[in-house]
Chain A
């Protein structure tokens, strides 16, 4: 008899994997993201390569602000009037000109930048930070502190966070990496459940509306049919994920190799936030990084990810199958999506609001224990380290939850697939579960 489930799994799997749309989506999706990234990088590179630094004329009435040129700006100090400088910009000899009137250092106002085109945020903020640094330096010098002393005062502090395991083993941990792991795996599980859960529902509706189902259930048990469909579609999803992971890493490394650069994400983050990358540059000292990666317990992380990934999918998959069986068309399914959407959404929101913020709070604990939210929420905690007892409790409840949803969904499914043209509501569903 389990052999029959396998036959259904095989059919569901092959019917989808052989479809042209599957092949196209599986191959194109991972190409799209790195390609978009590649296009941006290419544009970005040719941009900075083309008109490299911007020529800026400075008219400084204080005779004090000698700004240092850098790769973004080249400052020139030809002594001229405001009118002359304006003319230079209008003629296109300068990108812009910066007018610094007589300043009261306590309240530096009236600084103006003229340019032929509206300057972007990065230009304005770049100028602002240059002037700001200059004013601060002047202020410090005025109060008798010189540059040398200032450099000595600068202090870098980083707290090494070590997770003390129950067995006494110590693991170096990094909150940011843990955050990222929890964040990404939570989103993956959430997305997977929705996308492939919907496919289960569509598949059930298709079999029901094309009236194949009555022939099928005369040969195998409705439960076998339902489980076969859930497992088969899950396998399709896993296949697609695997191919994506392989393709994305191959394509990304090709693109990165082509542009000869570091991690693209890192590049982007540095551009977006030049100051906030401190931890990255400090953290990227090789021995530290290796220590950090060694500190991550990959085995338990991957195992828990797989358990919650598969467990969450199976738990909700049964729901989706039951909804598909209860309705005649996808548009009717909307009314029953509520019990699926709400707990998943609570898990998802909870992951961001509570779990990632404080993995050990009471709310985080309950979100990661209750089976309807745990598949999404627990992954936010696992990377920070969860006591084994809680993990066992959560997984056991997930299994119980899965058995419960599959059991009740099976009852709804068994009756629903043969019911046509009847308005089904929650009361009807409850009667189906009860009467069986």
Chain B
């Protein structure tokens, strides 16, 4: 079941095309990563789904229903550029954010208590944001995003601006929310977090989607059948011209293409040259795939 389904989305600002014939399917319960260089159209896409800006054309369905104002109750949004009311107490502030999402006051207060307790902020609830440390304010910001228990949580560059400790806390909270059935869509530059967190990704470049699918499938498809090898050569042997060859103190590393050979057969061949230290399939990282895909799309 798709929680978010986008078909043929178009958006232009004046002469600038921000999104062109954009399609996207986000399945319920997954963590979906949106990747792309700056200016690719990620934020535009996210803002359209949040009904902050209007689309020119295209269809957007939430749980199969055309997107409408009532859906804000079920969507949580953490923008890339974010802030809080500096002079407002954090409990009042969270109550306000919860209420404008559509929560009743009593319900909201109970949830605020739970969240403040969970992120160790309970004793600070009467403080104003300007009196908090930056890290604490970041936690408050996150609570404000999830306080109404959205079914779809949209995070634009969630790790930018967070210090490493908080980034870790937020990452764990995201995984916890996922376990509870929340669908999460995030855009990020931090590729390592994409591999750790995301089930599916879509890559956007120059207002178009250039790739999407499950992370595992994308990586599998990008496999080049090359293996990285570490070997301590037997003395007096002349080694073949392996790729990426590099000589260390008493061993060498290189990569080798299997060319239809089975890994075990290849390994047997290699053993003739010396002692195998490691033999490992080279799987490109998401970052490598990302850079490669972008270069490909620019070449077109």
Q: Which residues of A contact B (CB under 8 A)?
A: 1, 4, 7-8, 11, 15, 19, 210-212, 214-221, 418, 420, 431, 435-436
Question: Ordered nearest first, which 10 A-B pairs have the shortest CB separation?
Answer: A211-B83, A210-B83, A214-B79, A218-B77, A218-B50, A211-B81, A219-B100, A212-B83, A217-B52, A219-B101
Say yes or no: A210 contacts B144, CB within 8 Å: no
**Could you jot down 13 A-B contacts, CB within 8 Å?**
A7-B96, A7-B100, A19-B87, A211-B83, A212-B82, A212-B84, A214-B77, A215-B78, A215-B144, A215-B145, A218-B79, A220-B72, A435-B14
- In the assembled complex, the Cα of A191 lies from the Cα of B100 at a distance in Å of 33
Least Cβ–Cβ distance between A220 and chain B, in angstroms: 5
**CB contact between A218 and one of B14, B52, B85, B87 (< 8 Å): that residue:** B52
Kindly report which residue of chain A lies nearest to residue B88, judged by CB atoms. A15
By a CB distance below 8 angstroms, the chain A residues around B84 are 210, 212
Q: How many A-B residue pairs have CB under 8 A?
A: 60
Does B225 interact with chain A (Cβ within 8 Å)? no
- In the assembled complex, the Cα of A418 lies from the Cα of B99 at a distance in Å of 22
Interface size class of B (residues with CB under 8 A): 20 to 34
- In the assembled complex, the Cα of A217 lies from the Cα of B83 at a distance in Å of 13
- In the assembled complex, the Cα of A1 lies from the Cα of B100 at a distance in Å of 10
- In the assembled complex, the Cα of A216 lies from the Cα of B72 at a distance in Å of 11
Least Cβ–Cβ distance between B29 and chain A, in angstroms: 22
By a CB distance below 8 angstroms, the chain A residues around B51 are 218
Q: A212-B85, A215-B82 are in contact. Are A4 and B52 (CB under 8 A)?
A: no
Chain B residues numbered 85-140 whose CB sits less than 8 Å from any CB in chain A: 85-88, 96-97, 99-101
- In the assembled complex, the Cα of A220 lies from the Cα of B75 at a distance in Å of 12
By a CB distance below 8 angstroms, the chain A residues around B86 are 210
Say yes or no: A211 contacts B100, CB within 8 Å: no
Contact with A along B36-78 (1 / 0, CB 8 A): 0000000000010011111000000000000001001001011
Least Cβ–Cβ distance between B81 and chain A, in angstroms: 4
Kindly report which residue of chain A lies nearest to residue B144, judged by CB atoms. A215
By a CB distance below 8 angstroms, the chain A residues around B47 are 214, 418
Say yes or no: B77 contacts A15, CB within 8 Å: no
Q: A210-B83, A212-B83 are in contact. Are A219 and B72 (CB under 8 A)?
A: yes
Kindly report which residue of chain A lies nearest to residue B77, judged by CB atoms. A218
Among A212, A215, A431, A435, chain B packs the most CB atoms within 10 A around the CB of A215
**CB contact between A220 and one of B81, B83, B87, B100 (< 8 Å): that residue:** B100
Say yes or no: A211 contacts B96, CB within 8 Å: no
By a CB distance below 8 angstroms, the chain A residues around B145 are 215
- In the assembled complex, the Cα of A435 lies from the Cα of B77 at a distance in Å of 26
Least Cβ–Cβ distance between A410 and chain B, in angstroms: 13
**CB contact between A214 and one of B52, B87, B88, B100 (< 8 Å): that residue:** B52
Kindly report which residue of chain A lies nearest to residue B89, judged by CB atoms. A18
Least Cβ–Cβ distance between B296 and chain A, in angstroms: 32
Among B53, B54, B69, B100, chain A packs the most CB atoms within 10 A around the CB of B100
- In the assembled complex, the Cα of A431 lies from the Cα of B14 at a distance in Å of 9
Least Cβ–Cβ distance between B141 and chain A, in angstroms: 8
By a CB distance below 8 angstroms, the chain A residues around B54 are 436
